[in-house]
A and B are shown apart, each in its own frame.
Chain A
């Protein structure tokens, strides 16, 4: 054991330590099976026919083809839902960054009379789930004729992401040295240029954190689509899939294939860039 961090190494005889190590690996492996096996089953069963799933629940698929996935794509309007989810998540991120970044910048880098009050106003929402305001929000969307449009989701998501994002971004903006601004100002740079060309590029890590912290729950959200979207035109993947699963609950093959398709985008991103994913999520949670 080269690195005794964090707990100091025990001083037992070597073979006892070896047995302890084996026990730890065994425990972790069994636990990993519990976490992984349901997902593995989902993937395997997506390739089986429903009778095959019932007869050989733990077997491998007898042949690997994409027919079931094509069927889900066609019958569940999967392409449409995917487009809507991308649009809603991307739109929310754009609106959030366009509003939170300048606000955080102003709160972090300028001194003006009501600064503390505005900061407190934003921060007050950090622990309050927006779901608890759903009724006034619903009626507001109705009055603004935004129900059944992606904008109801985009504005709700972006607004609910504000407190945490303003907090994270302003913490980051505050750490930047003020010489940068001063030099730019002496060179005749305007306030907007300083923000956009000098300061914003420097907080890119914080922007990445804000993106990951928000995009994962938005992409998976089911609650607001359920309430805001009635017609099929704008349904997102989780809502569309919930309805599809409910309608085809006896066709397990179809349901497993749909689950795999619905999970694949985030699973792929997570597997490809798990380090950024993890550090983004934890720094968001710890600073909250």
Chain B
């Protein structure tokens, strides 16, 4: 007893410093994330956990209609969401970052403007574009009619062929400023001597970018790609706000997170099938596996390409 008391007198401050953080993080983050695995392996009756059911929930989500159709559909939508966002941020985003890093007159203004939408809530972004893209009253349709492009006016968010792409582009409008900022910070961290050395060797602008900037940016590009992957495989708000919990029209914009939400909490738009916690947890664990695998891969790639200077 006195030994314990003596230890506490010497090291008590460590306990005081660490314990609140450990309790908060352990209880409200580590515990829920770890428990969701055991949730997915159990049978559930409403909010009451039943017996251990092995992989039954996973088998159902991956193999039984309609769950399998929803799951694979949502997964492919998330994949497209990520692929398109990544393509935009690594082409246009990287180009803008390389350009704006030159800090010509007025570039600070452009940078600030591109970042502006990122400060807005997804709820506002979703409703804003819902109104702007309204095919009857919206300014986009109005503008197209003014210049005689009536045929281009379509219910972009209401038809299967364009709904998902439109949501992805709205998301890119909101998001793009952030990767531009991150890439710019990375470019500005590259020592100038590298370019001066390139200049001596007779490199032109493109060669400078291709052989100096780009290789040194790879770790940041990889990190940004992981972040984008994580966010895009968690995307929820924009589809929920613009297309509803079922990803209208007819699940064309359904994502893993909206599928998860409907399964867990019931579907408010269709009058509510009751929540199925076991199935929803299985979806959550599958998302966790996908995200975990992708981050592990990305982090390794980022470390392999890291250069110290």
Contacts and interface: CB of A to CB of B under 8 A. Distances in A.
A8 B22 contact: no
Given A135-B284, A262-B124, A35 B13 contact: no
Contact of B25 (A106, A125, A267): A125
B131 A252 contact: yes
Nearest to A271: B112
Contacts of A259: 124, 127-128
Given A31-B114, A112-B11, A130-B33, A140 B28 contact: yes
Contact of B117 (A21, A25, A39): A39
B116 interface: yes
Contacts, number: 284
A32 B116 CA distance: 10
Interface stretch (A69-77, A92-100, A180-188, A202-210): A92-100
A106 B186 contact: no
A145 interface: no
Interface string A1-26: 10111111111000000000100110
Given A6-B187, A7-B195, A255 B131 contact: yes
Contacts of B29: 125, 130, 133, 159-160, 162
Given A99-B24, A137-B32, A6 B139 contact: no
Interface in A262-288: 262-263, 266-267, 270-271, 274, 278-279, 281-283, 285-286, 288
Give the interface SS of chain B, mostly helix, strand, loop or mixed: helix
B14 A110 contact: yes
Given A130-B32, A191-B13, A216 B119 contact: yes
Interface stretch (B62-70, B75-83, B221-229): B221-229
B128 A285 contact: no
Contacts of A31: 96, 110, 114
B156 interface: no
A267 B120 contact: yes
A135 B283 CA distance: 11
Given A6-B213, A31-B114, A139-B47, A128 B205 contact: no
Interface in B71-116: 96, 98-99, 101-104, 106-107, 109-110, 112-116
B1 interface: no
A136 interface: yes
A238 B20 CA distance: 30
B265 interface: yes
A8 B203 contact: yes
A286 B220 contact: yes
Interface size class of B (residues with CB under 8 A): 35 or more
A32 B110 contact: yes
Given A278-B115, A281-B178, A263 B139 contact: no
B195 A127 contact: no
Contacts of A139: 47
Contacts of A191: 13
A38 B132 CA distance: 8
B21 A102 contact: yes
B185 interface: yes
B39 interface: yes
A15 to B, nearest CB: 18
Contacts of B295: 127
A14 B213 CA distance: 25
Nearest to A112: B14
A245 B103 contact: no
A6 to B, nearest CB: 5
B264 interface: yes
Most buried by A among B119, B122, B177, B203: B119
Interface string B179-217: 001101111101010011011000111101100110000
Interface in B118-141: 119-124, 127-129, 131-132, 137-139
20 contacts: A1-B104, A5-B192, A10-B204, A35-B113, A98-B20, A106-B14, A121-B30, A129-B230, A135-B280, A162-B29, A163-B25, A195-B17, A220-B122, A238-B122, A255-B131, A263-B120, A267-B120, A286-B185, A288-B223, A288-B227
4 A-B pairs closest in CB distance: A133-B32, A103-B21, A159-B28, A106-B17
Given A134-B284, A252-B131, A270-B119, 13 more contacts: A4-B199, A5-B103, A58-B143, A99-B24, A125-B30, A131-B234, A131-B257, A133-B34, A158-B24, A216-B119, A220-B120, A222-B121, A238-B124
Interface of B: 11, 13-14, 16-18, 20-22, 24-25, 27-36, 39, 47, 96, 98-99, 101-104, 106-107, 109-110, 112-117, 119-124, 127-129, 131-132, 137-139, 142-143, 173, 177-178, 181-182, 184-188, 190, 192, 195-196, 198-199, 203-206, 208-209, 212-213, 220, 223-224, 226-227, 230, 234, 236-237, 240-241, 257, 264-265, 277, 280-281, 284-285, 287-288, 291-292, 295, 299
